[in-house]
């Protein structure tokens, strides 16, 4: 077997694409081929449709796909968090049933964690799950649930024991979103989009085998999901690929992918804007001439420095990891630094757009994109764990500073709550 170098991998995937890529296959047929060959999610383990590749090798594969315009495995939304959670805690039956359809894009997922009464304090969940016969019966309400309106499956955190301490009484389930007991109502956000929802569960049913891990072990499973969510917030871009225009052959699969994007990706069209669109700052400053303003120059340079330093910090974290060394503090900072970047970006966009930053839609700069940045950035420091929670985590886990005093010990029943 040849050595796993970037060059060998590049040659292998290139040859495979040459032999197999067909832009007129259906999306699902093509992606099933990817799953079988291990190109769909190459970082997954070899026994589950992957190749156990490092981030660097995955990048090589992404570049080769992008070079000829080949469609990749489905990646959007909560699906990869669901997969990561199931890979770690699921049974072989779970993996067989869900993982392939995650890559093919046949199923979409949502994360049913936050509730009206518990967001940062996720372990305070009061959605209840009671075992009746062979089914778990679910009652309660979830909120801020991204993509629930088109999700097929939900990652559900619910309480199974009210007398245990709060972290011990939670259990993790996979719930079928298409059932009469589950009602989804979209919630409109301050930026006008409605990517998150309220989810009402009334005697909703979860088959017994859809319990993940063990009864009472739900908190540990949810931590896995969240750890992956925060890691993905490290802002590492995969880097521009060399596109070989002559090698790109377009076919019906691209139309199908566009339709998929239109529905599945619709909730996420504003996500790049919430991260601040650092990429637009310099072009806007140059195009408007605002780059001549001394204050714009200073704030723009601060933004570009911050964004680069953030990216290099993530790369340092990866490099130490790859060298097999214990990860330093730099690995846990990505989520928090993303908030700094986004806020500085919205400041810079406002400075550049000046009076035009009052305008949105087709009247606004860049056909409303700048306005969307300005009203979307506040989500970054809340979604996926607030900045305050990130600071708690960094202080306690990375710096080993004392834990917050607790007022929520003892049976969950007796703890004050909303």
How many CB atoms lie under 10 A from the CB of residue 329? 12
CB count within 10 Å of CB 182 equals: 21
> In terms of Cα–Cα distance, which of 172, 171, 170, 179 is closest to 205?
179
User: Which option in other proteins, ligand FAD, none does residue 194 bind, with CB closer than 5 to 8 A by kind?
Assistant: none
Rank residues 179 and 386 by Cβ distance to ligand FAD and give the closer one. Answer: 386
Q: Which one among 32, 104, 313, 381 touches other proteins, defined by CB under 8 A? A: 313
Q: Read off φ and ψ for residue 409, nearest 5 degrees.
A: -95, 170
Applying CB under 8 A, among 227, 282, 369, 382 the residue interacting with other proteins is 282
Supply the Cα-derived Rg of the chain in whole angstroms: 23
Asked if 319 interacts with other proteins (CB under 8 A), we say yes
CA nearest to 183, candidates 97, 277, 112, 287: 112
CA distances from 46 to 51, 233, 356, 382 (A): 4, 26, 52, 35
Tell me if 59 sits within 8 A of 239, measured CB to CB: yes
* Binding positions for ligand FAD, 324-383, rule CB under 6 A: 379, 382-383
CB 44 within 8 A of CB 87: yes
Asked if 146 interacts with ligand FAD (CB under 6 A), we say yes
Choosing from 336, 348, 370, 375, the residue that interacts with other proteins (CB under 8 A) is 336
Span of 122-130, 151-159, 363-371, 399-407 interacting with other proteins by CB under 8 A? 399-407
Q: Cβ of residue 79: shortest distance to other proteins, in angstroms?
A: 29
DSSP output for 260-316? HHHHHSGGGTTHHHHTT-HHHHHHHHHHHSGGGSHHHHHHHHHHHHHHHHHHHHHHH
**Scanning residues 377 to 396, which ones bind ligand FAD (CB under 6 A)?**
379, 382-386, 388-389, 392
Rounded distance between C-alpha atoms, residue 28 and residue 100, angstroms: 10
What's the rounded Cα separation, in Å, for the pair 233 and 334?
A: 6
Phi then psi for residue 187, to 5 deg, are -115, 130
In the list 85, 125, 145, 210, the residue contacting ligand FAD (rule: CB under 6 A) is: 145
Please choose, out of 151-159, 245-253, 259-267, 280-288, the segment that lies near other proteins by the rule CB under 8 A.
280-288
Near other proteins by CB under 8 A: residue from 12, 229, 257, 330:
330
327 is a contact residue toward other proteins (CB under 8 A): no
Q: What are the phi and psi torsion angles at 12 (to 5°)?
A: -65, -45
114 is an interface residue for ligand FAD by CB under 6 A: yes
User: If binding is defined by CB under 8 A, does position 279 make contact with other proteins?
Assistant: no
Give the x/- contact pattern for ligand FAD in 161-200, rule: CB under 6 A.
-----------------------------------x----
323 touches which of other proteins, ligand FAD, none (CB within 5 to 8 A by kind)? other proteins
Among residues 133, 180, 239, 402, which is the contact residue for other proteins, using CB under 8 A? 402
Minimum CB–partner distance for residue 380 and ligand FAD (Å): 9
Q: Which residue shows structure tokens 């056909």?
A: 367
| Alpha-carbon span 13 to 354, nearest angstrom | 48
- b/e map of 277-288 (b: 16 or more CB within 10 Å)? bbebbbebbeeb
Q: Give, in order, the Cα–Cα distances in Å from 233 to each of 1, 145, 284, 353.
A: 36, 18, 25, 27
Q: With contacts defined by CB under 8 A, name the span among 22-30, 107-115, 171-179, 334-342 that binds other proteins.
A: 334-342
CB of 117 vs other proteins, minimal distance in Å: 22
Could you tell me the two tokens for 147?
Answer: 């993509």
Backbone angles phi, psi at 228, to 5 degrees: -70, -35
Q: Which is closer to other proteins, CB of 296 or CB of 374?
A: 296
Residue 48 carries which DSSP code?
G
Name the minimum Å distance from CB 109 to ligand FAD.
Answer: 10
| Interaction between residue 396 and other proteins (CB under 8 A) | yes
Q: Is 292 in the site for other proteins (CB under 8 A)?
A: yes
Q: With CB under 8 A as the contact rule, which of the stretches 74-82, 188-196, 310-318, 342-350 interacts with other proteins?
A: 310-318
Count of chain residues binding ligand FAD (CB under 6 A) = 18
Q: Which residues bind ligand FAD (CB under 6 A)?
A: 111, 113-114, 119-120, 144-146, 196, 379, 382-386, 388-389, 392
Q: Which residues bind other proteins (CB under 8 A)?
A: 282-283, 286-289, 291-292, 294, 297-298, 300-302, 304-306, 308-310, 312-313, 315-316, 318-320, 322-323, 325, 328-330, 333, 336-337, 340, 388, 390-392, 394-396, 398-399, 401-402, 404-405
């Amino acid at each position: 077997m040849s050595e796993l170098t970037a060059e060998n991998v590049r040659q292998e995937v290139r040859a495979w694409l040459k032999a197999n890529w067909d832009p007129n296959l259906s999306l699902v047929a093509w992606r099933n081929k990817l799953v079988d060959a291990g190109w769909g999610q190459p970082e997954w383990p070899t026994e589950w449709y992957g190749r156990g590749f490092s981030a660097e090798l995955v990048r090589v594969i992404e570049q080769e796909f992008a070079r000829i315009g080949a469609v990749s495995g489905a990646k959007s939304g909560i699906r990869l968090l669901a997969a990561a959670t199931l890979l770690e805690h699921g049974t072989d039956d779970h993996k067989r049933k869900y993982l392939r359809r995650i890559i093919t894009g046949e199923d979409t997922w949502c994360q049913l964690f936050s509730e009206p009464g518990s967001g940062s304090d996720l372990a305070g969940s009061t959605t209840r799950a009671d075992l009746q016969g062979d089914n778990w019966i679910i009652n309660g309400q979830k909120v801020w649930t991204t993509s629930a309106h088109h999700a097929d499956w939900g990652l559900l955190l619910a309480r199974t024991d009210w007398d245990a301490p709060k972290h011990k009484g939670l259990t993790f389930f996979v719930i079928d979103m298409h059932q009469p007991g589950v009602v989804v109502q979209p919630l409109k956000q301050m930026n006008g989009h409605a990517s998150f929802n309220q989810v009402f569960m009334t005697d909703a049913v979860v088959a017994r085998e859809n319990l993940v891990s063990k009864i009472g072990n739900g908190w540990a499973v949810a931590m896995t999901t969240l750890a992956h969510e925060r890691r993905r917030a490290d802002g590492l871009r995969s880097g521009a690929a060399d596109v070989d225009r002559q090698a790109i052959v377009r076919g019906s699969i691209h139309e199908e992918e566009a339709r998929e994007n239109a529905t599945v990706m619709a909730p996420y069209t504003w996500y790049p804007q919430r991260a601040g669109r650092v990429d637009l700052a310099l072009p806007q400053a140059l195009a408007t001439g605002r780059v001549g303003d001394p204050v714009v120059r200073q704030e723009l340079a601060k933004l570009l420095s911050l964004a680069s330093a953030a990216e290099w910090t993530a790369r340092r974290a990866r490099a130490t990891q790859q060298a097999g060394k214990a990860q330093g503090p730099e690995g846990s900072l990505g989520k928090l630094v993303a908030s700094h970047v986004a806020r500085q970006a919205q400041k810079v966009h406002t400075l550049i757009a000046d009076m035009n930053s009052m305008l949105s839609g087709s009247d606004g700069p860049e056909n409303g994109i700048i306005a969307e940045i300005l009203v979307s950035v506040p989500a970054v420091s809340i979604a996926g764990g607030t900045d305050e929670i990130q600071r708690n985590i960094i202080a306690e886990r990375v710096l080993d500073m004392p834990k917050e005093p607790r007022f929520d010990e003892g049976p969950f029943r007796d703890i004050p709550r909303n």
